[in-house]
Structure 1
Amino acid sequence: MLRLVFSAAVGTLIGGAIAVLVGPPGAGIWVLAIALPVGILSLVSMRLGASGLASTAVSQEDLIRARAEDRLGVARIEAVRQTGTQINDQPLCEIDVTVQPRRGAGYATTVRTVVPLVELSSLQAGAIRRVAVLIDGGPEFGFVDGEVSAAEIGDLVVPPRGSVPTLVWPKAMRVVSGARRGPLLGIGPRGRMLRGILFLVVALVAAGAVVAPYTRAVIMTVQAAQEGRFGVDLRRPDELAVAAKALEDEIGHDRIVTVLIRPDFIRVEAPVTLGRTETDVWMYRGGVVEHTGAASSQPELAAEQFVWKDIALPKVWSLLSDASTESGLGIDDASVLVTRGTDSDIDSETFGEPVAAPEMRFSLRTEYKDSSFRVNADGSGELVAP
């Protein structure tokens, strides 16, 4: 089970790292914050379990079974060595013991276990402890000094360590109801390939679950990399088309009031309900559309709205390129703003209102120079430097 948890944590870390790279600001951070300690703890537990970490505690059920099956006994502490590892600020120790059960032959063994600091004094070399042997033939045992009386032990004598066989404490095994139980998936060479496939599948599923909300961003990032570009630029035709479709789907209709196109995000003001003027803000960034609430400036007329089809989205990048060629300035991080133009007919009832044909406006600049441009949103006409 720990290996499955570790595989899931690794997959989650990979997914979180991808989300941080391609998603909106803050994406994946909480995932990394959770998955990293889980992965570390599960790895440490796996390593300790594989190294033979055991417990010398005995449950009431195990003690009752040991009494019924006459598996009580005594043990002499031969040596205690601290390994230098601590778990929850308690030392991990290797304890050499010689055990003599009431029934059966004595044996020597070494157990690796966490020893609370307050109990170290009771584990001095030569100390005699009462134990319950957890399985016939051992070596698994647990200390039961306060729960077993002297009468139950009798006059048992622990033989010299060199006169009894040494039994190795089984690694990655535990005793349940008087029988050994290994890991659910096993640890031996048999079935190793199938286990590896299972762990890989678990990691991929975990990574996929984290990355799923940012699928669009992942796909666009991969496509950009195939074109030799590092990262997505939402002003380019393919990326812009995907973002616009995502925004239209999230808004629920095709009416918009303003569109701000940046390399890394697109901000749209659109009516909340078709046919009304109450306007909210939606933002596409990192493959995700976020609805941020009411726009700070509300339109007065429904005629200020236009539709996505009024914008020549495939021409945005080429128009920027044309402006760059004309001005001699780089595109860099130039943004494109799309709104309706201002009605200039002094005889019109909407004179001065933004109800004319939609326009694109953008500026190219350096620290020393800038040039602004205007063009019809449908891409028709010539670039105009206002």
Structure 2
Amino acid sequence: MIRVVRSLAVGFALACLLLIGLRLDHGAPGWWLPVALVVSTLAVALTSMATALLGIGGTNALRTTPPVDVVVTAEREGRLHLAKVLDISSTGTEINDDPVAELRLAVDARTRTRYTTTTRVLIDRTRLPQFQPGAVVVVLQEKADAPGVTLLQSPPQSWREKAAQAAADDRVARMDEPPEWATPVPAGRDARGLVKIPAAVLALLVLVGFAARLYPVREDITAVLTGTPLLEVSAAQERRVEQEASTLEPARAQEVVAAFVAEAGHSGFLSVGLGSTTATATMPAEPGSDHTDELWWSRGDITRHEPSSIQPRDDELPLEPFDAADVDWGALQELAERLPRQAGFEPEDLVTVQVRVPTSAFDDAGLPYEIIVWGSGPYDDASVTYDPDGEVVDMYGGAKGSEIATWEAEH
């Protein structure tokens, strides 16, 4: 299971890196790549630990000190043996600063011919000199018909004496290396003892993880593969992502304004501006006040600025807020989408819309609010002012010959 997750995470991470390199990762959650890298790294580490510590293959298992009754039973059944350390090596794993070592042992079996096997054991760092090559140790054979043994670091006193005697008379210490008693690999497992998963399956899982990341941008990938310039596809993707995140999206506009009302404690505002991923609102500092405060919304978070950076002039007093409940916030996106056609150019940034108390610059006395739609292109700016019914009040700017430029010239 760990290797399955690892393969999927590796494929996903590779796709993330590819899209970053191609600049086609606009809108992707920033946590996708680091999480995929962390998951794949942890999966590799866990696989290594499973191999090093669990040793599913039998002789490579990490053996812990057995209970006294287990030792007694093994001695009665003739499964306690003397063994000679042929080699000791580090597995690279430590537990509480003590190393997990792999010992290759020549076992002087009491019930069968001598054999060579390996075992893994957690050894107190201070006792490592006792288990160097040539040392005679006591081991417990776990099963009479299998080679797996556990090193007894504190064997019964009688066996401790046997080990000392064997070391002294060279009977075991001078033992030649006997043939290895290989552990049969369980059905369905590989040589490491892990469940067999064909390399082709793991490669397929990498491709599945890779494809899972590419799927959300499949149309952009297809466009690149069919000849559309990469920069053009990247720019189009960025614009699309910005539009999807825009506060002008009808449901999000309602959400933003509801958040403003909740924060303010009332629905009376002097202006509400909706942009790409941010929105602002200006309101009286308190009901009937001649001073104003501001609210900023960004990705679900609201910040309150007290006071506003620009305060009302005397000719703008008294302040007469409009009621946010009277505005059809879901209709503003359509007005914003009209601007490129009206202006004769495609704005470089997302169009912004501001609903505000009418200014004295126009003959709009009696209107509760007006709607300003504004955008900026490479060489021109453009804005359109609407009344609450969506009728044009004013137009300004636009490219030469555009609807806005023509309207301005006529009025």
Q: TM-score range by the shorter chain?
A: 0.5 to 0.7
1:245 to 241, 248, 251: 251
How far did residue 131 of structure 1 move?
Answer: 0.9
From 295, 317, 328, the counterpart of 1:307: 328
Q: CA deviation at 1:103?
A: 3.5
For the Cα contact (< 8 Å) 1:100–1:106, is it kept in 2? yes
Task: Name 1:267's counterpart in structure 2.
Answer: 279
User: Paired residue for 1:376, among 363, 381, 385?
Assistant: 385
CA RMSD of aligned residues (A): 5.4
Shift of 1:75: 0.6
Determine the structure 2 residue equivalent to 1:333.
349
Note the residue ranges of structure 1 that are not aligned, 5 or more in a row: 174-180, 212-217, 272-276, 285-289
Offset from partner CA, 1:278-306 (integer Å, 9 cap, x none) = 9965445xxxxx23254767896234662
1:8/1:24 CA distance change after superposition, 3 Å: closer
State which of 70, 78, 87 in structure 1 corresponds to 2:78: 70
Q: 1:291 pairs with 278, 283, 301, which one?
A: 301
58 and 7 in structure 1: CA distance in 2 versus 1, 3 angstrom threshold: farther
Deviation at 1:193, TM superposition (A): 9.8
Distance 2:129 2:160 in 1: 24
CA spacing shift, 1:55–1:310, aligned 2, 3 Å: closer
Which of 1 and 2 has greater Rg? 2
Structure 1-normalised TM-score? 0.61
- CA separation of 1:142/1:186 partners in 2, compared to 1, >3 Å: closer, same or farther? closer
Q: How does 1:112-191 map to 2 (within 5 A)?
A: 117-151=125-159, 158=172, 164-169=178-183, 187-188=195-196
Q: Which residue of 2 aligns with 1:108?
A: 116
Q: 2:336 aligns with which of 310, 316, 321?
A: 316
- Residues 1:38 and 2:46 aligned together: no
Indicate how the Cα distance of structure 1 residues 337 and 246 shifts in structure 2: closer, same or farther if over 3 A, else same: closer
> Could you tell me how far apart the structure 1 residues matched to 2:337 and 2:28 are?
22
Q: Structure 1 residues 235, 345: CA separation in 2 closer, same or farther (over 3 Å shift)?
A: farther
Residues 242, 8 of structure 1: alpha-carbon distance in 2 compared, 3 angstrom cutoff: farther
Task: State the TM-score, normalized to the length of structure 2.
Answer: 0.58
Contact (CA 8 Å) 1:269, 1:281: kept in 2 or not?
yes
1:301-346 Cα offsets, whole Å, 9 max, x none, are 23466222442x2463552365364xxxx73336524223624289
Distance 1:251 1:234, change over 3 A: farther
Native 8 Å contact 2:272 2:280 kept in 1: yes
Q: Could you tell me which residue of structure 1 aligns to residue 370 of structure 2?
A: 357
Residue aligned with 1:135, SS? coil
Which residue of 64, 68, 71 corresponds with 1:57? 64
Residue 215 of structure 1 corresponds to none
How far, CA to CA, are the matches of 2:362 and 2:249 in structure 1? 38
How many residues are matched? Answer: 337
Contact 1:110 1:169 in 2 (8 A): no
1:269 Cα offset (Å) = 4.7
- Per the TM alignment, residue 251 of structure 1 is displaced from its structure 2 partner at its CA by 6.1
SS at match of 1:233: helix
Q: Distance in 1 between matches of 2:104 and 2:43?
A: 32
State the alpha-carbon separation in 1 of the partners of residues 160 and 89 from structure 2.
30
TM-aligned CA deviation for residue 59 of structure 1:
3.0
Q: Structure 1: which amino acid aligns with 2:384?
A: V
- Displacement of 1:13: 5.3
Q: For 2:155, what is the secondary structure of its paired residue?
A: coil
The answer as to whether partners of 1:77 and 1:97 remain within 8 angstroms in 2 is yes
Q: Which runs of 5+ in 2 are unaligned?
A: 262-266, 284-291, 309-318, 398-407
1:72–1:153 contact (8 Å) kept in structure 2: no
Compared CA separation, residues 236 and 383, structure 1 to 2 (3 A): farther
